[in-house]
Structure 1
Amino acid sequence: MEAGLFTANNVWMMICTGLVFFMHLGFSLLEIGLTREKNTINILFKNVFIICVGLLVYYIGGFNLMYPGFAEDSSGIFSFAGFGIAPPENGMTPEYADGGYTWWTDFLFQGMFAATAATIVSGAVAERIKLGAFMIFTVIYVGLVYPIVGSWKWGGGFLDAMGFYDFAGSTLVHSVGGWAALIAIYLLGARIGKFDADGKANAIPGHNIPFAVAGVLILWLGWFGFNGGSVLSADPALTSLTLVTTSLAAAAGGVSAFVVSTVMYKNYDLTMFLNGILGGLVGITAGADQMGPNDAIIIGVIAGAIIVFGVALVDKLKLDDPVGAVAVHLICGIWGTLAVGIFGAMASIEQFLTQLTGVGIVGAFCCISAFIILFILKITIGLRVSEREELEGLDEHEHGMSAYPDFGLNEH
């Protein structure tokens, strides 16, 4: 491989790494926008903590847990290549990763993905989880659970051997976070005032919808790196196709969600529109490189409808998800993974059943793991803040500061 192509591939992968990093700002703005002002500092603190600690635990052992180099006679379930990230001899040459990038770029790109799984949980548990409990959960989930699941496919493990396909993480990133979010909100319980005595759900409006819009548009931009970087090179044809299918699915998801929600609720709900965009993005992520434009639009349209019905289902189950993380990342993650067997280059009954099996295995492992971690935290240090802390706001009680100290917007 000529040096110029190797350099171009690596530069593209570093740009994509930066775009995925930028997604953390998008998640932060979306989460604070859809929640109340009195918990803004708390949510921002969690998001900053996630990226910092996520990178460190991925350096300490997560990367080598996710890419352990399974032996030929291995079961492909668990292996560990050791602590740290010392590069191999060919790590900076075109011999590594087919000349797509260097060892250091590989680590950093994958490290950006790792932290995303915990960010998904952050939004779902907003406004009532103890910060200490969330931080402990993040360290364990990002440090152990996420890389073990990732190794099963991306690390050459047993899911890869059985033919399971997940291009950029509808299951391996989004549903890994989504399953944990589901277990967490079940164990935490709903925010005070979310449900009436008869079980009817009440809307708890977010304090800054412009922030939420900015967050979603930043996430869409970041997805160009999330999916585009998953090509693992700057291959012109495959990269451009991936960006087209990603954008079409996002646009179709947004339009579908706002149309369906308008028909159902007789108003133009901007938050449904926003989550529809995200649902389309999550839905296309598993097969963005396998789909044509028409496939991408259909996947997005279905994902957008799933968002509306998914949010209603979560409310009906008396679960409180302030940002719609379960509908977006879990339900649309499952849909996107199954869609690989329905549309595009890999469509077949056999592939669909393989995708379904992979979804079930990952779901079971993540639910059990998240439940064990969170239940132990619940019975030891506790998961939920006190009623007074929740009513007065976590910013005041856990951080001693306000996000808007000069504007007199503090809620009580």
Structure 2
Amino acid sequence: MENTQVLLNIVWTMVGAFLVYFMQAGFAMVETGFTRAKNSGNILMKNMMDFVLGSIFFFIIGFALMFGGSNAFIGTAGFFHPKSLADADGMFNGLPIGVFMIFQTVFCATSATIVSGAMAERTKFISYLIYSAAISVFIYPITGHWIWGGGWLSQIGFHDFAGSTAVHMVGGLCALAGAKMVGPRIGKYTKEGKPVAIPGHNLPLGALGVFILWFCWFGFNCGSTTAATYNLGDIAMITNLAAAAATLVTLIVTWVRYEKPDISMTMNGALAGLVAITASCDVVNDYEALFIGAVAGVVVVFAVEFFDKVVKIDDPVGAISVHGVCGALGTLFTGIFGEGCSFITQLIGFVAVAAYTLILAFILFFVLKKTIGLRVTEKEEIDGLDMHEHGCSAYANFHFHNDK
């Protein structure tokens, strides 16, 4: 019976890992659909390279920093040979180490890819590649060690079941730093500072991405049990209820504020609910999940407007609001509603992770900006990054209107 349970745990964790990997396709579709056609190929390349670089650098360095030992602040063992951390039977945290490693690898790549959309349509490809490698080495693994690797936050009882903090808030705050440092797209703001809408070119593609992400989120949250347990159905139901509540509330809020239900904002509402419930989906009940999702559905609308109109940070896909703000929201709500969780502990974790992530991300993007540069030239941005960065178009033989 024990061997059967281990095999079931292995299969379930691998299924979860495969679903989380497929989230890369969801992010690629959302970001491509919500941006202009002339940059579609560039978006796809960045999403692919997030996973490629994340896989390599997390294997070489990141996994050791995250899980290599019991130091309170940083992993100290397993560099360049992470499988050396396994016990004599090749197990780590109750699973064969290869199973555990691939599951953690896809989580790392998810955090990295969140930034792509926020910096879309004006960022140098080479600079983005350096960022993508860097987050997989010294941003995500360090805070991940604090939360999931036996570090100081886990020791004081901080709870982040599937990554509202460790994955989404970290990615969202890196997106905030990146979008701020690279600056807004040409034509995004008038001389008076008024924001100008720059519509994405393909809402059906964006919707496909949202459906993919919603589907894969069941692997993200349920898979985080890393075991075939009786509460998988509860976690799935709670995840779904939060997403549904957020979607409905966002639709209503935009209908009231804009006199019509906004399509792209409603889609982001679904993602906001999923992000917000990810930390607490194992410790809240169904109605608490509905409430968390509903609040996230309201917050995401006002957060998008705040960054767009007040702070004037150009985020083409709303990644900062969806992942950064709603990741923080989910972190704090876990302390309010989560069984056995402390709000003070959650608040400490939020402040610590946010401070570390923002400081490191701003330093990284500042160095890139001052050395090889973050932003493409004005002509390259107006013509589109597909042709200038990659020498081809995602839509061959189509004519694009190159507005500023």
TM-score, L = length of structure 1: 0.95
Q: Deviations over 1:207-248 (max 9, x none)?
A: 000000000010011111110111120102x21111111010
Please say if 1:37 is aligned against 2:28: no
Distance in 2 of aligned mates of 1:7 and 1:384: 49
Q: CA deviation at 1:54?
A: 0.5
Alpha-carbon separation, structure 1, partners of 2:87 and 2:340? 36
Aligned to 2:75: 79
Q: Distance in 1 between matches of 2:88 and 2:224?
A: 21
C-alpha separation in 1, matches of 2:65 and 2:377 = 37
Q: Distance in 2 between matches of 1:219 and 1:346?
A: 29
- Decide whether the 8 Å contact of 1:253 with 1:301 is kept in 2: yes
Structure 2 CA distance for aligned equivalents of residues 134 and 344 of structure 1? 37
**RMSD value over aligned CA atoms?**
1.3
Letter in 2 for 1:85: P
1:84 partner amino acid:
H
The question of whether the paired residues in 1 share the 8 Å contact of 2:83 and 2:97 is answered with: no
The structural deviation recorded for 1:6 is: 1.2
Contact kept in structure 2, 1:37 and 1:411, CA below 8 Å: no
- Which runs of 5 or more structure 1 residues have no equivalent in the other structure? none
Is 1:234 matched up with 2:225? no
Specify which of 214, 220, 231 is matched with residue 220 of structure 1. 214
3-state SS in 2 of match to 1:323 = coil
Alignment-derived partner of residue 244 in structure 1? 237
Aligned to 2:388: 397
- The equivalent of 2:368 in structure 1 is 377
1:245-271 per-residue CA deviation (whole Å, 9 max, x = no partner) reads 101001111111111111111111011
User: Counterpart of 1:167 in 2: which secondary structure?
Assistant: coil
**Structure 2 equivalent of residue 314 of structure 1:** 307
Q: Quote the offset at 1:86 in angstroms.
A: 2.2
Query: Partner letter of residue 293 of structure 1?
Result: D
Q: Structure 1 pair 91/147, CA: closer, same or farther in 2 (3 Å)?
A: farther
Q: 2:336 aligns with which of 312, 333, 342?
A: 342
Q: CA deviation at 1:84?
A: 2.1
| Number of residue equivalences | 400
- Give the 3 Å change call, closer, same or farther, for CA 336–262 of structure 1 in structure 2: same
Shift of 1:92: 4.4
Superposition deviation, residue 305 in structure 1:
0.3
Distance 1:283 1:320 in 2: 22
Q: Is the 8 A contact 1:91 1:103 kept in 2?
A: no
> 1:24–1:42: structure 2 CA closer, same or farther, 3 Å change rule?
same
Deviation at 1:410, TM superposition (A): 6.3
CA deviation map 1:376-402 (0-9, x unaligned): 110111111111100010001111100
Deviations 1:119-146 (A, max 9, x none): 1100100000111111011111111211
TM-score of the two chains, using structure 2 as the length reference: 0.97
Cα deviation for residue 46 of structure 1 reads 0.4
Q: Describe the shift of the 1:153–1:9 C-alpha distance in structure 2 as closer, same or farther (beyond 3 A).
A: same
Partner of 1:97: 93
For each residue in 1:314-370, what CA deviation from the matched residue of structure 2 results, as whole angstroms up to 9, or x when unmatched? 1121110000001000000000000111114135xxx11111111011111001101
Q: Which consecutive unaligned segments of at least 5 residues does structure 2 have?
A: none
The answer for the alignment partner of 1:304 in structure 2 is 297
Alpha-carbon shift at residue 407 of structure 1 (Å): 3.3
Question: Retained in 2: the 8 A contact 1:295–1:344?
Answer: no
AA matched with 2:83 = A
| Residues 91 and 16 of structure 1: CA distance in aligned 2, closer, same or farther (over 3 Å) | farther
Query: 2-side partners of 1:281 and 1:91: how far apart?
Result: 36
Q: Distance in 1 between matches of 2:76 and 2:362?
A: 24
Q: Which runs of structure 2 are paired with 1:51-130 in the superposition (5 Å)?
A: 51-70=51-70, 74=71, 76-81=72-77, 82-87=79-84, 88-92=86-90, 96-98=92-94, 101-130=95-124
- Asked if 1:258 is matched to 2:251, the reply is yes
Tell me which amino acid in the other structure corresponds to 2:343: F
Query: Offset at 1:166?
Result: 0.5
Q: Aligned partners of 1:44 and 1:410: how far apart in 2?
A: 21
Q: Percent identity?
A: 46
> Helix, strand or coil: the match of 2:335?
coil
Which residue, out of 114, 135, 141, partners 2:135?
141
1:284 aligns with 2:291: no
Describe how 1:323-334 pairs up with structure 2 within 5 A: 323-334=317-328
- C-alpha distance in structure 2 between counterparts of 1:51 and 1:337, whole Å: 25
Compute the displacement of 1:61 (Å).
Answer: 1.3
Cα separation, 2, equivalents of 1:323 and 1:143: 25
> Which residue pairs with 1:272 in the alignment?
265
Does the 8 Å CA contact 2:66/2:74 hold for their aligned counterparts? no
Q: Tell me if 1:386 matches 2:380.
A: no
* Residue matched to 1:4: 4
Residues 410, 45 of structure 1: CA spacing in aligned structure 2 closer, same or farther, 3 A cutoff?
farther
Asked whether the 8 Å contact 1:340–1:346 carries over to 2, the reply is no
Deviations 1:270-294 (A, max 9, x none): 1111000000000000000001110
Contact 2:249 2:297 in 1 (8 A): yes
